[in-house]
Chain A
């Protein structure tokens, strides 16, 4: 049995999506910038895809700009606004639990002379609205807060944050890479100025994403060159990627409620069973303000990588916030920010559920995981004390 529970890392491309993409590799291969018919059919395909994506978030098609993925969209939003608005100020507000595409971009800008406030989060991973209000200064030019967290699934009060930014005339960007395809997003109602999304998280191809830029927001380009994307993002368009992204977005929002209901049911079953069957466990993230497919649990006294290897041996693919899996010295910055101790953060397991997940697969995990945790605990010197009590 092979079970994939790492949908937050990436998703498979859906058959219907691939079918739409296929002609654009071979017969419909033209450069969209060309005047001839080969080019024109591509331009049309891109424009249709742009409209499909715009429709899913209540935007106008001309407010959607294709990028090479979520990381590029985040980089562009933050650097592009910082440079375009630096005559107004040099202060940026973000949070401590952003994806590295946001955090490392902010750290880069600090070296370039910008000042960044990193907001704390509470034990669930939620920012405090009063902290945000207090952090706003005369020279604040950008607030960038993620819609939903990739590790613990916590969903921020984005509407409220966006309103605060608007009241203070500050540009608001949100990294919605994890939320897109899982949340109803409407930029015609919520004053979000920029929003990053990615195709491979919603059953589309990798290497394609988009940045929504509200009409009238001044931003510098990140990639200079040709006149593509209204002169804001140069480079010959990834037509097959764009077509796939458009189709994936359309499917995601056609079936949103059904998709969410299914995922939440499986998610809560997994959370309830694992935390009740296995002692010394802790759910990371918020119990309800949470992405429908996200489960993140810390198992005390054991380390995440050995947990992942053991799960892999029985065919279960998952991920962890342990240092040994992220490749850095410390465990995940998100788990540290919600106040976990190093030991507990090292023992975290993220299982993310997707469209292809079945109840049988969830039952299989519920059956296989407890003995694995027990085996590793029996080997752990940290568990001895607890057993003795």
Chain B
């Protein structure tokens, strides 16, 4: 059901952990739906120098968090804000349709951490104008079971 890349990022996730005195910290998702992503950013001169994450969630939630951190390290804030969920999913060689919401969460986790940084430093980013950190993400799942 998962690509080799998803399994690789799930079994060997990159950038797991926390950053002490991070410049931006964002958390998205909720325990009700079974996934929470927390992202920590170290930002210097508008460049994302380091990223760490912690995720409670399924295999694809962990893999998308890991991939998203890899994709924004070394990038400018503007470039990081351009990251879309589809790019994260594509970089993982795709996700099953019912798991696409995990990539949405990864995109939101990045935005949420930058939002925190912008707020602390009174900065404005065009890429955050439509971002609402309190918005609940809409899930869609299909049914499949045993008997």
* A binding-site residues for B, Cβ under 8 Å: 9-10, 69-71, 99-101, 177, 198, 301-306, 309-310, 313, 322-324, 326-331, 341-343, 346, 378-382, 384
Contacts and interface: CB of A to CB of B under 8 A. Distances in A.
A323 B142 CA distance: 11
Nearest to A319: B146
Given A341-B31, A381-B56, A384-B18, 11 more contacts: A10-B146, A302-B56, A304-B58, A305-B58, A306-B57, A323-B141, A342-B31, A380-B56, A381-B55, A382-B31, A382-B56
Q: Is the interface of B mostly helix, strand, loop or mixed?
A: mixed
A313 B57 contact: no
A378 B62 CA distance: 12
Contacts of A70: 147
A198 B11 CA distance: 37
6 contacts: A306-B57, A323-B33, A326-B145, A327-B143, A379-B13, A384-B18
Nearest to B55: A379
Contacts of B115: none
A352 to B, nearest CB: 11
Interface string B91-131: 00000001000000000000000000000000000000000
Given A101-B147, A327-B98, A381 B58 contact: no
Given A99-B147, A331-B34, A306 B62 contact: yes
Given A100-B145, A322-B34, A343-B31, A380 B58 contact: no
Contacts, number: 93
A346 B32 CA distance: 8
B40 to A, nearest CB: 10
Nearest to B98: A327
**Which DSSP category, helix, strand, loop or mixed, fits chain A's interface?**
helix
Interface of B: 2, 7, 10-11, 13, 16, 18, 27, 31-38, 54-59, 61-62, 98, 139, 141-147
A192 to B, nearest CB: 20
Contacts of B36: 381-382
A323 B33 CA distance: 7
Contacts of A384: 18, 54
A357 to B, nearest CB: 19
A157 B1 CA distance: 40
Contacts of B16: 378-379
A381 B25 CA distance: 12
Contacts of A301: 56
Contact of A379 (B7, B34, B62, B139): B62
Contact of A303 (B2, B7, B34, B143): B34
A379 B59 CA distance: 12
A343 B31 CA distance: 5
A343 B142 CA distance: 21
B56 to A, nearest CB: 4
Shortest beta-carbon contacts, A-B, top 4: A305-B58, A324-B58, A381-B54, A381-B38
A326 B34 CA distance: 12
B92 to A, nearest CB: 14
Contacts of B7: 309, 313
Given A69-B147, A313-B11, A342 B55 contact: no
Contact of A381 (B27, B33, B59, B98): B27
